[in-house]
Chain A
Amino acid sequence: GAVVSQHPSRVICKSGTSVKIECRSLDFQATTMFWYRQFPKKSLMLMATSNEGSKATYEQGVEKDKFLINHASLTLSTLTVTSAHPEDSSFYICSARDRKGHTEAFFGQGTRLTVV
């Protein structure tokens, strides 16, 4: 299957700082990537759809100014958590689909963010 790499896998930051998480498709091109958030012992919740070369589409209730998404190339999307607060601590995970239209999604390893 296709490989999606996410970096970093774990990050600890201070309140008020910003954190950037990268999501790369290693062996395919992805016009669309997705960012999810998972709370402990809960399911994955879609935050936003990242579109190459255009603005991201955010799900209802997700603050676009808090969670900045950039999809500058066909293999890279970034999520920046701005002015992080302890309640932003969570597990963030990205997925990507092959631009060729195959609908199967592949996921990165996830990033565990802790804001202290």
Chain B
Amino acid sequence: GIQVEQSPPDLILQEGANSTLRCNFSDSVNNLQWFHQNPWGQLINLFYIPSGTKQNGRLSATTVATERYSLLYISSSQTTDSGVYFCAVGGRGSGNTGKLIFGQGTTLQVKP
């Protein structure tokens, strides 16, 4: 099955700094999503981005499907950005039912 690797596993930033989170995947995908898991466990949809570039406020994401990676950019980080960021992908294979395979996550801590 598809392998998903995220880097870095942990990241500590000072408030106001910028950061880039990376997601590598091992096969073709028809779905790629970025999530932020809040302290209560809920997954917040950040981007649905199987290809291309999107921006939403201070966040933006780029997926280069042909090279099998995606990047999540956080600019001018705030303490409320702290938490775990997950990348998840859905494969293009014939057995794909829409299930997502998650990376191990990046734990971000933004210090005031």
Interface residues of A (CB under 8 A from B): 1, 32, 34, 36, 38, 42-46, 49, 57, 91, 93, 95, 97, 103-107, 109-110, 112
How long is the Cα–Cα vector from A95 to B41 in the complex, in angstroms?
14
Q: Which residues of B contact A93 (CB under 8 A)?
A: 41, 43
Main secondary structure of the interface of A (DSSP, over half): strand
CB pair B97 A32 closer than 8 Å: yes
CB pair B102 A49 closer than 8 Å: no
Number of chain B residues whose Cβ lies closer than 8 Å to a Cβ of chain A: 23
Take A103-B90, A106-B45, A112-B41 as given contacts and tell me if A43 and B98 are in contact as well, using a CB distance cutoff of 8 Å.
Answer: no
CB pair A34 B99 closer than 8 Å: yes
Take A43-B86, A93-B43, A110-B41 as given contacts and tell me if A105 and B98 are in contact as well, using a CB distance cutoff of 8 Å.
Answer: yes
Q: Which residues of A contact B98 (CB under 8 A)?
A: 32, 34, 49, 97, 103, 105
Q: Which residues of A contact B99 (CB under 8 A)?
A: 34, 46, 49
For window 25-81 of B, CB contacts with A under 8 Å fall at 30-31, 33, 35, 40-43, 45, 48, 50
Take A44-B86, A49-B97, A57-B97 as given contacts and tell me if A104 and B102 are in contact as well, using a CB distance cutoff of 8 Å.
Answer: no
Residue of B whose beta carbon sits closest to that of A30: B98
Q: Which residues of B contact A97 (CB under 8 A)?
A: 98
Choose among A1, A44, A106 the residue that contacts B102 (Cβ–Cβ < 8 A).
A44
Take A95-B100, A103-B50 as given contacts and tell me if A1 and B86 are in contact as well, using a CB distance cutoff of 8 Å.
Answer: no
CB pair A105 B41 closer than 8 Å: no
CB pair B31 A43 closer than 8 Å: no
CB pair B31 A104 closer than 8 Å: yes
